Structure 1
Amino acid sequence: MAKKKKAAAAAGAVTAARSNPYVQRVIEDDDLRDNVRVAFEAARDAYDRLSNGKAPAKVISDDKKFHKDLQVAAEALKDAGSSLRAGPKRKKRGGFGRKLLLLAIAGGLAVALSADLRSKILDTLFGAEEEFDYTSTTAPSATPTAGSAA
């Protein structure tokens, strides 16, 4: 009977943890998890330096590595706290549509601003224009002018 009560209590704890928004943030946010991990490791290192047999007062006042570990732990906890206060980050979308739109706008501007590019595109689409010089084979005829009598 005691095993069933413990199992029910564990199931209740799991359900409560799943519904807790902070636990969800820790599960989903990689940066938050990394900050908590770094803070834990730095605090553990600081504790190990404090309990290595030297006098604690001497370690606290003189040990530079101890101070560095405390500083790293404090910064990581500060970052984790500000991350929790900021709320969940919006997931970035693929951005493919934005990149495609930017590419289309840049292409349109390039065509609009460059006459050489326009002519290359038109030549590619419709074929090269044939340039020719027109020379008349007939001589201009003498046309009667308004002042002459015929």
Structure 2
Amino acid sequence: MANKKVKKAGQAAQSARSNPYVQRLIDDEDLRQSIVQSFESARDAYGRLSNGKSPAKQLFEDKKLQKHIRETAGGVRDASVALYEAPKKQKSGGGFGRVLLLGVVGGVVALAVSEGLRKKVLDALFGAEEEFEYTSTTSSPSSTPTAGTAA
């Protein structure tokens, strides 16, 4: 009978050891600290709630209780995010995306700095500007004949 219990405990330990959430809890110091802080805040909030006053009244009026509840919620949120967050993979340096981004940024800087390059790009996109002189084709109102005498 004792042998069955030992075997069952060994299987439970092996199962826990292979669980990624347990591994994350073991490896991540920030996660453990967040859990401890949220537990302490929850314990303090419970202590303030159990002093004999109306809990509904305390929730609305007790600022320290509200602070403890906020801290508890924040700690639980941080712990859950840290627990479900996948481990960060190291990316290799370089890559097509990085080269493309560098090219785009370099092009924008070159356009911002060089007036001649800006003119060439605008001419290529919209065509060259045509220069012209404006001459009026209308004459002054006193020299035009009146239209009322033709009838």
Please classify the TM superposition score into its range, dividing by the shorter chain length. Answer: 0.5 to 0.7
Q: What secondary structure, in the 3-state scheme, does the structure 1 residue paired with 2:14 have?
A: helix
Unaligned 5+ segments in structure 2 are: 91-151
Q: What secondary structure, in the 3-state scheme, does the structure 1 residue paired with 2:53 have?
A: coil
Could you say which residue in structure 2 is the equivalent of 1:52? 51
2:77 partner letter: K
Could you say which residue in structure 2 is the equivalent of 1:66? 65
Could you say which residue in structure 2 is the equivalent of 1:88? 87
Q: Distance in 2 between matches of 1:52 and 1:12?
A: 44
TM-score, with normalisation over the residues of structure 2?
0.53
Deviation at 1:4, TM superposition (A): 3.4
TM-score, with normalisation over the residues of structure 1?
0.54
Q: Distance in 2 between matches of 1:41 and 1:30?
A: 17
Deviation at 1:26, TM superposition (A): 0.6
Write out per-residue CA displacement over residues 34-90 of structure 1, whole angstroms, 9 at most, x where no aligned residue. Answer: 111111111111111111222222222211111101101111111112222321246
Could you say which residue in structure 1 is the equivalent of 2:35? 36
Write out per-residue CA displacement over residues 12-32 of structure 1, whole angstroms, 9 at most, x where no aligned residue. Answer: 221111111001001001111
Change beyond 3 A, Cα 1:6–1:74: same
Q: Distance in 1 between matches of 2:30 and 2:78?
A: 9
Unaligned 5+ segments in structure 1 are: 92-150
Could you say which residue in structure 2 is the equivalent of 1:14? 13
Q: Distance in 1 between matches of 2:47 and 2:88?
A: 35
Among all aligned residue pairs of Structure 1 and Structure 2, give the percentage whose two residues are the same amino acid.
50
Q: How many residues align?
A: 90
Change beyond 3 A, Cα 1:20–1:65: same
